């Protein structure tokens, strides 16, 4: 078994890169020095390793030999708290750049077998197909230069609720059960609201989700603005005409058709992230006045539904809209709403970088705690480079035009 003394034999490569100082602050919450040391080894392996970031490959890249058991214990069994690391990371980044949005993205972890925590054959909306996978929800801080996932939730399939053998093997806490996706979003927000992170509008793709209203009410109850992408089949509550109290449910496709018949669009230039250049498109807004809303059982009662807006992008010459969003931002801020919609692509770049460069999907263990530890450390690895990029941008001299 490797000891701390063995770790001190690690190569001196990149000792001046600032990573040791970064780890010293990031892992200050760890109770033991060996946890802090193995944390730095793991981060160095995620940052500078090659191929799959497995415990064997990480230790071989950082220490010069394979030291598997202690680093597996650090990731899969050690009791350090993910939330402390995530909070420190989010607050460090927010101190350098105020987030433009808090964004939610689904991340699919394709898996073989059925024993890894939360794995099942299930539909992954982000991939558009059935997969044997884990599904996770990443909460990212979106800033001018990109995004950084700072909070994670594993979306448990319903079949994991009753299979005690699977739950025991994965060391799944009893309170972890299948829940609607909006509950995971609100739980993540409640955690971040306790951190020293500036509030920002919430972005999410809700086009494949059946339960929009609980999410909207939860966001509004927390005083958060939001922009939620919806699909043509998403049902929205629309008040009935005067004299007929109550509300009716109509699909986004029906409401978009109503907007199209009015032919009252606003032309704006925007970039949705997938386009190399800014493009001009037509946007339409339909007000959705407030009214009483009956809450689901987990949010029992009746709450006043505030005014909202349906925003539709309907490019010229197309028979159908391209995109639709629901927001509680005012209709007279359409340009700001469209710019916010353009950040949806940026919110996914952090997750893509984690997959491609930092071994996000390479965790080989089965445990719930180990999965959370690994994705947290992957975010911390990207966070190190993000902070370097932001600090470098802040240090660049500002060029001023000469007078005369």
- List the domain range (segments joined by +) for residue 26: 4-82+365-393
The gap from C-alpha 103 to its chain's centroid, in whole angstroms, comes to 5
Q: In this structure, are 327 and 340 located in the same domain?
A: yes
Of residues 318, 342, 219, the one with CA closest to residue 260: 318
Q: In this structure, are 284 and 141 located in the same domain?
A: yes
Residue 355 placed within a domain: no
Q: In this structure, are 97 and 75 located in the same domain?
A: no
Residue 281 placed within a domain: yes
Q: In this structure, are 241 and 381 located in the same domain?
A: no
C-alpha distances in Å from residue 336, one per residue of 144, 201, 311: 15, 11, 12
What CATH number did the domain enclosing 272 receive? 3.90.350
Distance CA 120, CA 396 (A): 48
Q: At what angle do helices 68-76 and 368-395 cross, to 10 degrees?
A: 90
Q: In this structure, are 210 and 345 located in the same domain?
A: yes
Of residues 133, 162, 155, 169, the one with CA closest to residue 367: 169
Q: In this structure, are 57 and 18 located in the same domain?
A: yes
Please provide residue 239's backbone torsions phi and psi, each rounded to the nearest 5 degrees: -60, 150
Give the length of the chain.
Answer: 404
Q: What pLDDT is stored for residue 211 in this prediction? A: 85
Q: In this structure, are 316 and 209 located in the same domain?
A: yes
Q: In this structure, are 304 and 380 located in the same domain?
A: no
Low-confidence ranges of the chain (pLDDT < 50): 1-6, 8-11, 13-14, 398-404
Residues whose CB is less than 8 angstroms from the CB of residue 30 and which lie 6 or more positions away in sequence, other chains included: 36, 39, 80
Q: In this structure, are 87 and 77 located in the same domain?
A: no
Residue 358 placed within a domain: no
Q: What pLDDT is stored for residue 318 in this prediction? A: 87
Q: In this structure, are 56 and 157 located in the same domain?
A: no
Residue 161 placed within a domain: yes
Question: Using one digit for the tens of pLDDT, what is the confidence trace for 305-363?
Answer: 678 999 999 988 888 999 999 999 998 899 999 999 988 878 888 899 999 999 999 99
> Which residue bears the tokens 């700001």?
336
The gap from C-alpha 110 to its chain's centroid, in whole angstroms, comes to 18
Q: In this structure, are 314 and 204 located in the same domain?
A: yes
Residue 51 placed within a domain: yes
Q: In this structure, are 128 and 197 located in the same domain?
A: yes
Residue 398 placed within a domain: no
Question: Using one digit for the tens of pLDDT, what is the confidence trace for 361-388?
Answer: 999 889 999 999 999 999 999 999 999 9
Number of domains observed in the structure of the chain:
2
Q: What pLDDT is stored for residue 321 in this prediction? A: 92
């Amino acid at each position: 078994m490797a000891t701390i003394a063995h770790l001190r034999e690690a190569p001196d490569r990149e000792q001046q890169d600032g990573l040791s100082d970064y780890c010293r602050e990031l892992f200050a919450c760890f109770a033991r020095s060996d946890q802090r040391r193995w944390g730095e080894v793991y981060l160095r392996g995620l940052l500078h390793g090659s191929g799959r970031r497995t415990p064997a490959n990480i230790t071989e890249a950082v220490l010069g030999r394979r030291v598997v058991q202690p680093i597996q214990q650090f990731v899969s069994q050690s009791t350090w708290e993910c939330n402390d690391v995530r909070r420190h990371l989010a607050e460090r980044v927010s101190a350098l750049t105020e987030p433009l949005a808090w964004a939610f993205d689904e991340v699919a972890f394709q898996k073989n077998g059925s024993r890894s925590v939360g794995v099942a054959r299930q539909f992954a909306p982000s991939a558009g197909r059935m997969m044997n996978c884990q599904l996770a929800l990443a909460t990212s801080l979106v800033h001018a230069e990109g995004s950084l996932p700072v909070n994670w939730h594993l979306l448990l399939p319903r079949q994991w609720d009753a299979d005690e053998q699977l739950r025991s093997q994965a060391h799944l806490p009893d309170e972890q059960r299948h829940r609607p996706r909006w509950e995971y979003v609100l739980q993540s927000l409640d955690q971040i609201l306790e951190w020293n992170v500036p509030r920002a509008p919430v972005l999410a793709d809700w086009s494949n989700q059946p339960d929009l209203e609980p999410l909207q009410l939860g966001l509004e109850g927390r005083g958060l603005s939001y922009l939620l992408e919806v699909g043509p089949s998403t049902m929205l509550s629309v008040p009935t005409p005067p004299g007929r109290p109550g509300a009716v449910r109509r699909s986004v496709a029906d409401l978009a058709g109503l907007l199209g018949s009015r032919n009252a669009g606003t032309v704006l230039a925007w970039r949705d992230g997938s386009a190399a250049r800014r493009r001009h498109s037509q946007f339409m807004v339909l007000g959705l006045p407030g009214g009483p809303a009956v809450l689901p059982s987990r949010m029992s009662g009746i709450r006043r539904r505030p005014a909202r807006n349906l925003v539709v992008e309907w490019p010229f010459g197309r028979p159908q809209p391209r995109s639709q969003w629901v927001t509680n931002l005012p209709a007279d801020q359409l340009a700001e709403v469209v710019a916010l919609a353009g950040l949806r692509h940026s919110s996914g770049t952090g997750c893509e970088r984690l997959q491609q460069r930092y071994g996000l999907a390479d965790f080989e263990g089965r445990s719930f705690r180990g999965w959370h530890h690994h994705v947290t450390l992957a975010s911390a690895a990207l966070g190190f480079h993000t902070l370097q990029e932001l600090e470098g941008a802040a240090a660049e001299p500002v060029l001023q035009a000469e007078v005369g």
